[in-house]
A = this chain, B = another copy of it.
Amino acid sequence: MSAGSVGIVKTHYHHLSGGLPLESGQKLDEVTIAYETYGKLNKDKSNAILILHALSGDAHAAGRHEGDKRPGWWDIVIGPGKAFDTDKYFVICSNIIGGCKGSTGPSSINPSTGKPYGLNFPVITIGDMVNAQKKLIDFLGIEQLYAVAGGSMGGMQALQWCVAYPDSVRRGIIIATAAYSRPQHIAFNEVGRRAIMSDPNWNRGDYYGGEPPTKGLALARMVGHITYLSDESMQQKFGRRLKDKERYGYDFSTDFQVESYLQHQGGAFVKRFDANSYLYITKAIDYFDLKKNGSLDEAFRAVKARFLVISVTSDWLYPPYQSKEIVMALSSNGVDVSYAEINSIYGHDAFLLEGGQLNYLISNFLTPKLVKDVMASAVTIDENSSIEAAARAMLDSGVSHLPVVSNGGTISGIVTAWDISKAVALKYTCLDEIMTRNVVTIRKCDTLEAAAAKMELHDISALPVVDDAGHVIGILTSDGISKLIGQHK
């Protein structure tokens, strides 16, 4: 599979006619949505996938803007040959309302005053963000999305889509998130907001045209950033290494590299993000609670999509048990849901970094891989051959599993390098004495998942692929399957 880039892309802007009623009861009269698309919408408009971004994300999910060095924020999984394969799918990503990356937010001009909204911007919710996206999807003429997908706050939006618009979504990909914000989430968000609001430059949100509250916003980002990493990844990345010094400074300048890194992250963030947007978006996250009458089961009653729920082993902000809670509630409604944990030390940030595992899991969910996509041509040996001939065949072809055939191709057994070595030890000479006769086989149109399960069940590492007549047409090895993950890295 060749994995490429979608190339140079542009952000589009769509003005929602009729404005947007909000969950608070207020209404936003003028709403612009910034969005990008990659790939082509097919004739029956059935191949659209909506990507949802996290707190500080934007519409630029893949490819490059003219002149940019760095690609969009989820370029690792979007593009030709990648999980969100732009040769097959029409991929859409829009900036959330309340943000500061082109969609209407607190830094936008309030049409009724001609000045930036500031705190006059109404408080919005994850539901409001999704309702705005629905209007964009309607505008694009798409009745049903092939999938919605997102990590962190993007995962919340994806869940909200499946709940609010059950007929408009076929698949939900929900990564590193929760179905409701817990007090620890709220607590970290509140600290970030306090940091911004304690900065005198914040001036009750009215700082546009003046000095923005950069110290407060940087502090908020520093706290947030710690929660996105794991203790282990920080230990590997920074340890206790000092920054540009040989010994402790014994003062309050920067001593450690990790301090310098956080300060840099904070400083870079204030250049690209609006402090008021940070307040509004964290508030939307706090308010997010899919539970209905206190029950997540009840929240998912009307859901029609199939789900892939993914968590990260080292994510302590949205730990695996919070994903499992989603899986349990979906399952209890009879919803078709797969669950996977990304094995990673990168903590919450893994959903932006672990390209190999993400591509494998997501592409398999969107477009299940079949045995024929991965099987290799099989070297076989006739059952009347000698053990020496079998050993030579293995050596020549560099394989350790040989299907044994009779009558010109029908499978009658399998012999492995281990069998050969057993024959040497026991002075056997006939293939017949060492080959396994009850050989487990697979068909070319079975899914890889089924094949992998068969291998695990029988504790074997290769499966001959046979046709209806029992003829060997290929071989599937665990090496072949694991290479699939490798290809996506």
What is A's interface to B at a CB cutoff of 8 Å? 24-26, 119, 122-123, 180-184, 186-188, 190-191, 193-195, 197-200, 215-216, 218-219, 222-223, 226, 229, 231, 234-235, 237-240, 248, 250-252, 255-259, 262-263, 279, 283, 286-287, 289, 316, 319
- Nearest CB of B to A28, in Å: 13
- Nearest CB of B to A322, in Å: 9
Q: How many copies does the complex hold?
A: 2
Chain A interface SS verdict (over half): helix
| Cross-interface CB contact of A287 among B229, B248, B263, B286, cutoff 8 Å | B248
Chain B residues whose CB sits within 8 angstroms of the CB of A122 once the complex forms: 250
Chain B residues whose CB sits within 8 angstroms of the CB of A218 once the complex forms: 194
Chain B residues whose CB sits within 8 angstroms of the CB of A184 once the complex forms: 226, 229, 231, 234-235
Chain B residues whose CB sits within 8 angstroms of the CB of A283 once the complex forms: 252
Q: B286 and A239: CB pair below 8 A?
A: no
- Nearest CB of B to A228, in Å: 11
| Cross-interface CB contact of A252 among B186, B197, B239, cutoff 8 Å | B197
Chain B residues whose CB sits within 8 angstroms of the CB of A251 once the complex forms: 123
A239 to B294, CA, bound (A): 11
Chain B residues whose CB sits within 8 angstroms of the CB of A197 once the complex forms: 252
| Cross-interface CB contact of A186 among B200, B250, B256, B287, cutoff 8 Å | B256
- Nearest CB of B to A117, in Å: 14
Chain B residues whose CB sits within 8 angstroms of the CB of A194 once the complex forms: 218-219, 222, 263
Q: B240 and A183: CB pair below 8 A?
A: yes
Q: B234 and A286: CB pair below 8 A?
A: no
A377 to B198, CA, bound (A): 66
Given contacts A119-B252, A187-B234, A231-B319, 4 further A-B contacts (CB under 8 A): A183-B235, A184-B226, A186-B240, A186-B256
Q: B119 and A226: CB pair below 8 A?
A: no
CB nearest to A213 among chain B residues? B198
Q: A194-B219, A198-B215 are in contact. Are A182 and B252 (CB under 8 A)?
A: no
CB nearest to A226 among chain B residues? B187
| Cross-interface CB contact of A219 among B26, B188, B191, B250, cutoff 8 Å | B191
A199 to B26, CA, bound (A): 35
- Nearest CB of B to A42, in Å: 41
Interface centre among A181, A259, A316 (most CB of B within 10 A): A259
Q: A190 and B234: CB pair below 8 A?
A: no
